[in-house]
Amino acid sequence: MYPAGMASTTRSRSKVRERREDVARRVLATVEELMADGTPYTELAVQRIAEQANVARSTFYLQFPDKSRLLIALAEHAVDALFAEAFLWWRADHSDGQDGVDHAMRKTIAAYREHRRILHALGEVAGYDADVAAYWRGRMRSFIDVVQERLDTEQRAGRIDPDMDTPTTAQLLTWMVERTISARSHHDEGPGDARIARSLARSIWLTIYGTAPAAPPAGAS
């Protein structure tokens, strides 16, 4: 049992945390609603967001010091969803061949479309905001590390070309997928997504497994 004073302090801190979490949820939900109506993130004023969320500006800034921090918080779920299926594929056994990566690409494209407004804003703001750029590079770097880890494992096992530059290949594959899906979501409403998924899957599969390891010299054990 906590002493009476300590219990009271613990409850007070819990209530403060709950209030902050409630404010954050309301603000983030409000931004998503406003963006769903077609307003670009860069055109959303803090005053409008605060009024719509029924939050005082001072309270807003206690939770989100600036719009960069707000966008980063908003992007967390979207980026998690974007990478989710691809993470699963890179850590799977690849026994289903190219079909497995095709499935992962379809899911990745669908996730991007679902969160496209936030992801577009993330890419746009990262072009000029150092904090957002650092966040986005960090998330991409984490995924690239997963890809490189798998390529290194395949290389050590002798299943892929021993001369493959795995760090560079991991970067190229990751950015190829992200840039292709991003550009398509900007200019196309989705009828050709299955074709894009198949083409990305083929490119990924052939890059990894299309060059068989060199045969050992004659007479080698």
Which residue, 64, 79, 108, sits at the end of a domain?
64
Helix H, strand E, coil C: the string for 40-67 is CHHHCCHHHHHHHHCCCHHHHHHHCCCH
Supply the pLDDT for residue 182.
93
Residues 42 and 72 in one domain: no
**Cα Rg of the chain, angstroms:** 23
Supply the pLDDT for residue 161.
95
Supply the pLDDT for residue 191.
77
Residues 102 and 53 in one domain: no
Four-CA torsion 89, 125, 188, 178, nearest 10 degrees: -20
3-class DSSP state of 76: helix
Residues 127 and 204 in one domain: yes
Supply the pLDDT for residue 185.
86
The domain total for the chain is 2
Residues 200 and 147 in one domain: yes
Supply the pLDDT for residue 5.
58
Residues 95 and 187 in one domain: yes
Residue 217 CB neighbours (<10 A): 6
Which residue range(s) make up the domain with 38? 1-64
H-assigned helices in the chain: 4-36, 46-53, 57-63, 67-90, 98-114, 116-126, 130-156, 166-187, 193-209
Q: Which CATH number do you get for residue 121?
A: 1.10.357.10
Residues 47 and 99 in one domain: no
Distances (CA, A) of 65 to 8, 32, 80, 109, 160: 29, 19, 23, 32, 48
Distances (CA, A) of 151 to 148, 197, 211: 5, 21, 13
Residues 59 and 116 in one domain: no
Confirm whether 138 is domain-assigned.
Answer: yes
The residue ranges of the chain whose pLDDT is under 50 are: 216-217, 219-221
